[in-house]
Amino acid sequence: MHGIIFLELKKYVGAKWGAPAWSTLLADAGLGSRSYLPVHEYPDDEAELLIGTVAKTTGQTFPTLLEDFGEFIVPDLLQVYRSLIHANWRTLDLIENTERMIHRIVRLRNPGARPPQLVTERRNPSQVAIHYRSTRRMCGIAKGMARGVAKHYGERVAIHEPQCMHTGAPECVIELRLAN
């Protein structure tokens, strides 16, 4: 997993439970004083271990925590990738173009990066479906990011997931509809 996700997780943990919580989390997860750099790749199982440890420690479910984390990271990611985001885009436009404009560049800049594959289907002006494919199966982050992007644009989205890898499907289908 890309180092920026670990740095965002550290920021998330600090914002929710205070700066010392990160060191405690690393210790509880058995990772000692591990540090992460933004442009390196790290084992997926470390991210899963850290997120699972946060969930266990806080009593949240893994999916709920993923969604909250996904929403939390949006402002920073929008800042990092602002040059790739068209000024006239709104929530569904950005989501519809994430694979083409952002994930493609991430893969070009860092050949080891493996962001999820997103195939989008614009069903009408107020609805888009995301076909989410990733061996990580962290579709909760995508749902949280959709909420975070909508929040950024002053919009709201209703999210429906008729198909999920966690229930045996080969991919997740996440349907987003503007709720404003």
Q: E strands of 30-84, at which residues?
A: none
| 160, 127 contact by CB (below 8 A) | no
On whether both 85 and 150 belong to a single domain, the answer is: yes
On whether both 91 and 40 belong to a single domain, the answer is: no
Give per-residue pLDDT as tens, 128-139. 999 999 988 999
On whether both 81 and 130 belong to a single domain, the answer is: yes
Which residue did the predictor score with more confidence, 85 or 71?
71
- pLDDT value of position 40: 83
Q: Work out the number of other CB atoms within 10 angstroms of the CB of residue 171.
A: 18
On whether both 90 and 159 belong to a single domain, the answer is: yes
On whether both 87 and 148 belong to a single domain, the answer is: yes
On whether both 8 and 92 belong to a single domain, the answer is: no
On whether both 108 and 142 belong to a single domain, the answer is: yes
pTM, full prediction: 0.91
